[in-house]
Amino acid sequence: MHRRAAPSGLTIYKMILTQCAVCATELGLSLGKKCGRCSTRYCGPECQVQHWKEGGHDKLCKLIKKAGGSEQYNANRKYAESVTIAAEACAEDTEGQTCYICTQALHWKTKEGLVRGCSCRGTSGFAHVSCLAEQAKILMGEAEENNLGEKAFIERWARWYTCSLCEQDYHGVVECALGWACWKTYVGRPETDMSRSNAIKQLGIALSSAKKYEDALSVQEAELSMELRLGAREVRILAAQNNLANTYTELGRLAEANRMLRNVYCGRLKLNGEEHQSTLRAALNYASTLSELQRFEETKLLMRTNLPVARRVSGESHELTLSMRANYARALYTDPAATLDDLREAVTTVEDLERTTRRVLGGAHPFMARIEQYLRNARAKLRAREAPPASETAAATAVPDSAVPASPSLADVASQFKEAVSLGNDTPSPRSA
C-alpha cells in the first residue's frame, strides 16, 4: 500500500513505517530524522516543518506520543480498521450469536461485532477479535513470565492464528485482523525481542494469506531487513526469505522469487541437510518457480534429486512426495522439448499419482482436481504427439496448469508453504548432523 494524502490532509501510512511521513522517501528501518516527541520519521527538517505546519502534525503529535510512538499508533489504527472490516464481513453469519469468551454480542469496551473465520460450525466459535487477541496475549504473557519453555511458547503462540476450539487456522479477514492484533501487542517492545520478531512475521503471513500481497510485501521486506540488521540466526533469515519470496511469486515477480528461493534451498541444504522437511519444502518451492519460468530441465533435475530423499524420509503417500512427483510430471509434459518417451513417462506418473492420491487423500480432496487436470493435459499432449493431425484439437482441450507448491497439508494447494513462527531454534534432522 502506498502512502497517500487523506482528505483531511493527514497521512495514511503504509504497513510498516519505512518512509518519510511527508514525501515518502524510503528510509529503511533506521534512517531519517525523528520527531523528538512522537518519533514520526522524516527525510529531513524541511519535511518535518511542513508536516507540522500543513500536515496536521501539530494536532496529531500528542495523540501519537500518547499511543506509544508512530509505529504503535499506526498499528493501532490498522488494527481498528481491520476489526471493523472483519466484523462487517462476518455480520450475516454472526447475527444473533454471542462471543464464547465474553458471552456478549457487542464487545463491552470497543463495541465491535462478532467474527468467525475458522472451521467451527453451528453455534460454535463466534468471538470478538479483541477477545481472541486478549486471550492470546494473556497466554503468551504467562509463558513468558513463568519461562515455560519453547514447546509452551510455540503452542501458545498458535492462538494468534489458530482457533482453540476447532484447532484450525483462521482465514481471510479474521486472520488479517488477528495479525494486526498481534503486531499491535508487541510492536512497542525492543527490536531484539523474540515476540516482536515473531509478531512482524505473523503479520506478514496473515496479510499474505488474506491475499493482501502488496501489504504483505512491505511488512516482509521490513522483517527481512530487520533480521539481517540484527544479525538474526540463519534459520530466521531463511524463513523470512521464504515467505517474502512467496509474496514475490504472488505479485508476479518470478525472477526475484526464484533467486531468493534458490538461496533458501541452498541455505537449508547447508543448515539442515537434505533429509530435513524444511529442505524438501524449500526444494519444492524453488521448483515451482523454476517451472513457472519455463526452466524445465532444472525443475526435473531438482525433483529427480529430491524425490528419492522424500520417499525415503517421508514415504510414498506423504504430501511432499506426492507434490514432487506432480511437479516432476508436469515439467516432463510441459517442456516444449519433451520427447515421446517423456510424455509417456508423464502420463504413467500422473496415472499412478492419481491412484495414490485417491487412496490417501480421497477423491474429494482439492489436490485431486489438480492431478486430474494434469492427467487430462498430459494425455492430450501424448495423443497429439502420437497422432500429429489431431494436435490442434488436443491442444485446445489442454487447460493451463500451474506447479504444485509445497503446501503444508495440501489442504489448500493454491497457497505456498509458509515458514511458521519459531523461536529460532531449529533442530537439524538427526541424520544430517
Residues near Zn ion, by CB under 5 A: 20, 22-23, 25, 35, 37-38, 40, 43, 47, 61, 99, 101-102, 118, 120, 125, 128, 131, 163, 165-166
Q: How far is the CB of 138 from Zn ion (least distance, A)?
A: 13
Residues 6+ positions from 323 with CB-CB distance below 8 Å: 284, 404, 405, 406, 407, 410
- Of 165 and 390, which CB lies nearer to Zn ion in the complex structure? 165
- Of 69 and 267, which CB lies nearer to Zn ion in the complex structure? 69
- Of 118 and 287, which CB lies nearer to Zn ion in the complex structure? 118
Coarse DSSP helix, strand, coil percentages of the chain, rounded to the nearest 5 percent: 60, 5, 35
Q: How far is the CB of 43 from Zn ion (least distance, A)?
A: 3
Q: How far is the CB of 163 from Zn ion (least distance, A)?
A: 3
Query: Rounded to the nearest 10 degrees, how much is the dihedral formed by the CA atoms of 278, 284, 288, 291?
Result: 140
Give me Rg for the CA atoms of the chain.
Answer: 24
Burial of 29 from C-beta contacts in 10 A (0-12 / 13-18 / 19+): middle
- Of 96 and 336, which CB lies nearer to Zn ion in the complex structure? 96
Per the DSSP assignment, residues forming a β-bridge with 127 are 115
Give dist(CA 15, CA 360) in Å, integer.
41
- Of 15 and 47, which CB lies nearer to Zn ion in the complex structure? 47
Q: How far is the CB of 199 from Zn ion (least distance, A)?
A: 22
Cell match 530435513: residue?
276
Cβ-contact 351, 326 below 8 angstroms: no
Q: How far is the CB of 149 from Zn ion (least distance, A)?
A: 26
Cell match 462487517: residue?
88
Q: How far is the CB of 128 from Zn ion (least distance, A)?
A: 4
Query: Rounded to the nearest 10 degrees, how much is the dihedral formed by the CA atoms of 348, 349, 350, 351?
Result: 40
- Of 31 and 340, which CB lies nearer to Zn ion in the complex structure? 31
Q: How far is the CB of 97 from Zn ion (least distance, A)?
A: 11
Retrieve residue 161's grid coordinates. Answer: 492464528
- Of 61 and 413, which CB lies nearer to Zn ion in the complex structure? 61
